[in-house]
Amino acid sequence: MRLFMFNLGLAIVWQAVSGSFSLGGLLAGFIVGYGVLWIAHPLFGGSPYFRKLWRIIGFFFYFVKEMVIASLRVAYDVVTPLIHARPGIVRVPIEARTDLEITLLANLINLTPGSVTIDVSPDRDCLYIHAMFIDDPDEFRAAIKHGIERRLLELMR
Amino acid sequence: MSVLLLEILTAALLLGGAAFSLISAIGVLRLPDVLIRMHASSKSGTLGAGMILAAVAVLYGTDQIVARAVAAILFLLLTVPVGAHIIGRAAYVTGTKLWPGTVMDELRADHERRECEKQEREKRERGQEEREERNP
C-alpha cells in the first residue's frame, strides 16, 4: 500500500515535470514510476506490491470474463420460451474472516449474474447465496471456493 | 482506418449494451419470483449500462469524458450489488414466496430458528420488565 502511494506520487511528479495534466500522461507516469520502483525494489525489502499489482489486473479480467459468461446464461434463459432455471438458496462455507474480506466477497458474488448473497450467518462462517442455476449444490460450493474466493483471498492476504 | 475501427467498436458496444438492457427489462417481466427477477434487473442492467458508458468513452476519447465514464462505471459497480443484496434480503425476510420450481432453500431452517430465538428473548425481556414493575 505504501509503495502504491509512492507510485501515485511519482505519477503526479511525472505530470508536473511534463507540464500538462492528462489521463494518458498520468497513466504513462504510473507505468514509468512502476519501473523505477521495480528497479529500486531491493531497497524496500521484498514487498508484495509488485506481485499484487499484476494479480489485481489478472483478477479484473477474470472477473469481467465470469460476468459476461454468467450474463449470457441469464439472458439465454430470459429469451427462450421455457424457463430452465433451477434456483435455490445454498449455504456456502467461507474462509474469509475480516469484515472487509466478507464484504468484498459478498459484493463480488452479487455482481456476477445468477447469484445474490442473501445473508451472512451470525457466526460469520457461511454465506447464504441465492443462485439461478444449481445443478449440484456441492459443485456450486466448490466453484465459489476455488474460483472467486481463492483469488480474492490471494489478493487480500 | 483507425477511425473506422473505433466506430465499429463503438457500435458493437452500444448494440451489446442496448441488447443486455432490453433483455434485463424483459427478464423482470418474465421470470417467476422476486429473487430470480433480481438477477435479471440488477446484473444484466449493470453490464448493459457499463457497455454503453464504455462506448461513449471509446467514441469521444477526451480526458473529461473518459474520466466521467470510468467514474460512472465504478459507482455502478459499487452501488448495484449492495442494492441487490438489500432488496433480496428484504424480500426474503418479509416472507415472500419462492417459485415452486426452487430446488433447495438452506436458509429457511436457520432463519426460522433465529426468529424463534428472537421471539423467546423478547418474551423473556417483557416478563422481566413486568416483574420489575410489580415489585420495584
Measuring CA to CA, how many Å separate A47 from each of A3, A8, A51? 8, 16, 8
| Same-domain pairing of B21 and B87 | yes
CB spacing of B106 vs A90 below 8 angstroms = yes
**Which amino acid is residue A126, in one-letter code?**
C
pLDDT band at B1 (very low <50, low <70, confident <90, very high): low
Substitution target from B24, B46, B87, B103 for chain A, most A beta carbons within 10 A: B103
Q: Is pLDDT above 70 for B45?
A: yes
| Same-domain pairing of B19 and B70 | yes
Grid coordinates given for A59: 483478477
pLDDT mean over A3-28: 82
What's the pLDDT tens digit per position in B56-102?
Answer: 998 888 888 888 998 998 898 888 888 888 888 888 888 777 777 77
Question: What is the pLDDT at residue B10?
Answer: 92
CA distance A50 to A56: 10
Q: Is pLDDT above 90 for B12?
A: yes
Handedness of CA B123, B87, B78, A151 (dihedral sign): positive
| Same-domain pairing of B7 and B32 | yes
Beta strands A88-93; A126-131: pairing state: antiparallel
What's the pLDDT tens digit per position in B13-38?
Answer: 999 999 988 988 888 888 888 888 88
Nearest Cα residue in chain B from A91: B106
Report how many domains make up chain B: 2
What's the pLDDT tens digit per position in A81-118?
Answer: 777 777 888 888 888 788 888 888 888 888 877 788 88
Question: What is the pLDDT at residue A46?
Answer: 65
| Same-domain pairing of B112 and B96 | no
Nearest Cα residue in chain B from A130: B35
| Same-domain pairing of B98 and B111 | no
Contact list in A for residue B114 (CB cut-off 8 A) is 122
ipTM, 2 dp: 0.73
Angle, vertex CA A113, rays to CA A110 and CA A115, nearest 5: 55
Q: Is pLDDT above 70 for A17?
A: yes
CA distance A81 to A90: 26
Q: Is pLDDT above 90 for B120?
A: no
| Same-domain pairing of B79 and B91 | yes
pLDDT mean over A120-143: 82
Mean pLDDT of chain B: 83
Helices (DSSP H) in B39-62: which residue ranges? 45-60
**Which amino acid is residue B84, in one-letter code?**
A
Displacement of CA B41 from its chain's centroid (Å): 7
Kindly report the backbone phi and psi dihedral angles of residue A101, in degrees, each rounded to the nearest multiple of 5, phi listed first. -65, -45
Question: What is the pLDDT at residue B33?
Answer: 82
| Same-domain pairing of B71 and B134 | no
What's the pLDDT tens digit per position in A37-91?
Answer: 888 877 777 677 777 778 888 888 888 888 888 888 888 888 887 777 778 888 8
pTM comes to 0.75
- CA A148 to chain B, closest CA, distance in angstroms equals 16
| Same-domain pairing of B67 and B133 | no
Question: Which domain range does residue B136 map to?
Answer: 106-136
- The b-or-e profile of B66-85 (16+ CB within 10 A means b, else e) is beebeebbeebbeebbeebb
Contact list in B for residue A105 (CB cut-off 8 A) is none
| Same-domain pairing of B81 and B133 | no
Higher model confidence: residue B115 or residue B12? B12
Beta strands B104-105; A88-93: pairing state: parallel
Grid coordinates given for A39: 528497479
| Same-domain pairing of B77 and B128 | no
CA distance B112 to B110: 5
End-to-end CA distance of chain B: 89
Helices (DSSP H) in chain B: which residue ranges? 2-30, 34-38, 45-60, 63-93, 107-134
Question: What is the pLDDT at residue B136?
Answer: 58
**Which amino acid is residue B66, in one-letter code?**
V
Contact list in A for residue B104 (CB cut-off 8 A) is 88-90, 134, 137
| Same-domain pairing of B7 and B59 | yes
| Same-domain pairing of B42 and B7 | yes
